[in-house]
Structure 1
Amino acid sequence: MEKKLKHLEFIHNTINRMSTNSFYIKGWCVTIVAALFALAEKDILTNFIFISYFVLFVFWFLNGFFLQLERKFRSLYDVVRLKSEMDIDFSMDISSFNSDFNSYFSALTSKSLLLFYFPLLVVVLIIIYLLK
């Protein structure tokens, strides 16, 4: 049982890293977008607002990538927890977990990302409209 628990611990640590990366990406996105808004207000340059629009999408896509990896490692965790002790090989290969739920598009359009990035997108669009 020790090998199985160790393997599950490895996978759990990887899942934890993916969710931590996602949290940091959200924090950086808000920080950079807010900083670009401040620069746009100070220098009266609307280019900074357009850059924040681009930055928003870059972070959204990056966050989707980490969510996709996290989902694949969760699928691996489910498979490993059902294995017998003799079948544990400490594999971290997630290439076989390509279901619709684990797809990149599904991660990008997940509730957790849409509820975070969509309001930011709306705010940026409103500010762009107001500055024109």
Structure 2
Amino acid sequence: MKKQIVILFSIVVLSVISFTSCEPFLVNKIIVRNLAADEVQINLRAKTYKIPSGETLVLNDLKKGTFQYNSTYSIPAGVTETETEGEFEGEVVLNAGTEILFIYRSSLLDNKYKIYIYKTSSDDVNRTDPFEN
């Protein structure tokens, strides 16, 4: 009887350790921060999201996969010339627990509006897939 209790206790302890050390709910998230002078829009997964200047959009619980995106932007009044810098279109790859951050910034000088987009990912760019050879 004592041996059965020790075995049962060991199984319970190992189960608790294994369940608490694993992260069972890895959530994919995309954050879009608009620090530009005017509204930006991002088209992602067949939906357009409008982000006013100074606002942040957070998309939670996204499924794993590779998705295309496209960005557009509004131009402030009085601007006669525009320039862009960065990846205004491309793809995002969401693995388990991936967080993608888009930041839009802009500058206005002599009626020339320049808008920048920065995209970063929480995924390791040097990570190798153990299932690919």
Q: Which has the higher strand share?
A: 2
Q: TM-score, normalised by structure 1?
A: 0.27
Larger radius of gyration: 2
Q: Which has the higher helix share?
A: 1
Structure having greater relative contact order (Cα 8 Å, sep ≥ 6):
1
Q: TM-score, normalised by structure 2?
A: 0.26
